[in-house]
């Protein structure tokens, strides 16, 4: 169900995605790549890192991206069915996945073995058109990719299947580009160059792509023909360098109820927190089912009524409790769990640092059935799961999200408005 409303409307659990921030970030990345003559592929795998693959993809193309990247063929076909016409690469599926529908839809596919190339050639025959293939070499990450010892056989086989296979690119992935100066980056670049030259010697004429977001920002010498930034598109910086990236996601809820409790009362399972003085507690109806990790229990703040306030007790499946001291907090008041940080609210990076993980994991984990998506920015639409209704009627205060004057007023959801979760 699509909702068109002000972002201050109380909701149970919602991520607000700023498509103007997406456009800004993509524009910055496109400019970095264009300075070296490279095109830009934006990765929108995993439902656009939790932001919604199709709205993000549209915003990215509007901002100058000329390629899109997905992990699975199903993700890529959904983009194509939504009307996105730019080249789309799908790079990882099981060997027995039927590739013919994707090839017929004009999806580029990856191969990292002779066996996979054979599967693609067979699928191309059934699709009635050549498979556009990106040959992936493992240059040192030791995940997906053809081992160097098997690479000559792969490029030779690709050259021999010229009728069924069109080799578009040779590519690889960097393991430590987010650690500028790490020696492995140059080692991988050298191995990549060797693999590229072997492909050319086999009679292929591929483009090259190697740079992820970190290398796009820090290694212009590795841009080659195409860069593949992911996390930076969403405003999260993978490297410790000053770049004007704008986080696009805000996670918010609202106060369901408040209660005044005396000193000595404890909160939640295990009674892990006890009030030292009389205080007001606010109940917020989100929990680990909605993307608040239980491991954050007793370790995080929220933004509520113009200031940070601590979450106390354990994070439950469906609720958290906020210590509001002596402040009078109304039911329905907005609660921001994380956002861009522009007003002092917590950020996804802050959660990641507390948990000893990366902000990629935090935002990607927000693709959840009970968490609605609301888009702000030009041509924005909203996605509201069933049952995720407002939890109060009071206008929320001090929102770091901003007013959604630009929210699209079209009636109902576009046929291809948001990807399924």
Nearest Cα to 376, choosing from 69, 3, 1? Answer: 3
* Helix (H/G/I), strand (E/B), else coil: 232: helix
Nearest Cα to 383, choosing from 391, 374, 393? Answer: 374
Q: What is the CATH number of the domain that holds 97?
A: 3.20.20.10
pLDDT of 151-192, one tens digit each?
A: 999 999 999 999 999 999 999 999 999 999 999 999 999 999
Let me know whether 195 and 302 are in one domain: no
Let me know whether 182 and 273 are in one domain: no
Looking at 208, 233, 258, the residue that finishes a domain is: 233
Let me know whether 329 and 368 are in one domain: yes
For this structure, is 136 an active site residue?
no
Of 183, 196, 269, 360, which is the active-site residue? 269
Q: What is the CATH number of the domain that holds 310?
A: 2.40.37.10
Let me know whether 195 and 51 are in one domain: yes
What average pLDDT does this structure show over 56-63?
98
Q: Which two tokens stand for residue 317?
A: 């499946």
Decide the pairing of beta strands 266-267 and 301-304. Answer: unpaired
pLDDT above 90 (res 411): no
- pLDDT band of residue 11 (cuts 50, 70, 90) is confident
Let me know whether 277 and 196 are in one domain: no
- pLDDT band of residue 9 (cuts 50, 70, 90) is low
Let me know whether 166 and 282 are in one domain: no
If one compares 322 and 388, the residue with the highest pLDDT of the two is 322
308 domain residue, yes or no: yes
Let me know whether 165 and 106 are in one domain: yes
Let me know whether 229 and 267 are in one domain: no
The domain in which residue 333 lies consists of 249-383
* Helix (H/G/I), strand (E/B), else coil: 59: helix
Q: In the prediction, which pLDDT does 8 show?
A: 60
Let me know whether 202 and 316 are in one domain: no
What average pLDDT does this structure show over 41-61?
98
Alpha carbon distance 197, 192 (integer Å): 9
pLDDT above 60 (res 328): yes
Let me know whether 184 and 70 are in one domain: yes
Alpha carbon distance 388, 159 (integer Å): 54
279 domain residue, yes or no: yes
pLDDT above 90 (res 12): yes
Let me know whether 260 and 229 are in one domain: no
Instruction: Please report, rounded to a whole number, the percentage of residues in the chain having pLDDT higher than 70.
Output: 87
399 domain residue, yes or no: no
What average pLDDT does this structure show over 64-84?
98
pLDDT above 60 (res 4): no
Of 45, 49, 196, 234, which is the active-site residue? 45
* Total number of domains in the chain: 2
pLDDT of 257-299, one tens digit each?
A: 999 999 999 999 999 999 999 999 999 999 999 999 999 999 9
Break the chain down into helix, strand, coil percent, rounded to 5. 30, 20, 50
DSSP letter string, 83-146: T--S-EEE----TTS--HHHHHTT-EEEE-SHHHHHHHHHHHHHHTS-EEEEEEB-SSS-SSSB
Looking at 233, 260, 294, the residue that finishes a domain is: 233
| Beta-bridge partners for 16 | 250, 374
Alpha carbon distance 81, 100 (integer Å): 15
For this structure, is 45 an active site residue?
yes
Let me know whether 164 and 212 are in one domain: yes
Looking at 233, 265, 296, the residue that finishes a domain is: 233
185 domain residue, yes or no: yes
pLDDT above 70 (res 388): no
pLDDT of 218-252, one tens digit each?
A: 999 999 999 999 999 999 999 999 999 999 999 99
421 domain residue, yes or no: no
């Amino acid at each position: 169900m699509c909702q068109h409303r002000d972002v201050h409307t109380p909701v149970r659990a919602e991520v607000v995605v700023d498509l103007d921030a997406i456009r800004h970030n993509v524009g910055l990345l496109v400019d970095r790549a264009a300075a070296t003559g490279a095109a830009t592929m934006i990765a929108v795998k995993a439902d656009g890192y939790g932001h919604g693959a199709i709205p993000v993809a549209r915003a990215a193309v509007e901002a100058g991206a000329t390629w899109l990247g997905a992990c699975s063929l199903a993700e890529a076909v959904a983009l194509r069915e939504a009307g996105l016409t730019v080249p789309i690469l799908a790079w990882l599926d099981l060997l027995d996945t039927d590739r013919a529908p994707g090839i017929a839809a004009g999806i580029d596919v990856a191969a990292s073995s002779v066996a996979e190339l054979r599967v693609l050639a067979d699928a191309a025959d059934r699709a009635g058109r050549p498979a556009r293939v990106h040959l992936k070499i493992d240059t040192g990450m030791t995940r997906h990719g053809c081992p160097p010892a098997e690479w000559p056989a792969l490029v030779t086989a690709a050259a021999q299947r010229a009728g069924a296979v069109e080799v578009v690119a040779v590519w690889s992935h960097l393991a430590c580009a987010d650690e500028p100066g790490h020696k492995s980056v140059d080692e991988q670049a050298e191995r990549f160059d060797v693999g590229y030259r072997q492909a050319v010697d086999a009679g292929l004429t591929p483009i090259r792509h190697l740079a992820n977001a970190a290398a796009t920002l820090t290694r212009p010498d590795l841009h080659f023909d195409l860069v593949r930034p992911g996390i930076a598109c969403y405003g999260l910086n993978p490297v410790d360098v000053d770049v004007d990236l704008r986080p696009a996601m805000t996670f918010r809820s609202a106060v369901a109820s408040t209660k005044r409790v005396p000193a000595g009362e404890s909160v939640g399972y295990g009674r892990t927190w006890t009030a030292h003085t009389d205080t007001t507690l606010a109940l917020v109806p989100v929990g680990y089912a909605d993307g608040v990790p239980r491991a954050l229990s007793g370790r995080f703040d929220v933004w509520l009524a113009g200031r940070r306030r601590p979450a106390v007790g354990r994070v439950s499946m469906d609720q958290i409790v906020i210590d509001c001291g002596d402040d009078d907090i109304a039911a329905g008041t907005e609660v921001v769990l994380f956002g861009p940080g522009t007003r002092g609210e917590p950020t996804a990076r802050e959660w990641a640092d507390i948990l000893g993980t990366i902000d990629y994991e935090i935002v990607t984990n927000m693709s959840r059935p009970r968490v609605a998506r609301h888009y702000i920015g030009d041509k924005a639409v909203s996605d509201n799961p069933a049952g995720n209704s407002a939890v109060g009627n009071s206008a929320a205060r001090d929102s770091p999200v901003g007013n959604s004057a630009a929210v699209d007023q079209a009636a109902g959801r576009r046929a291809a408005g948001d990807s399924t979760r």
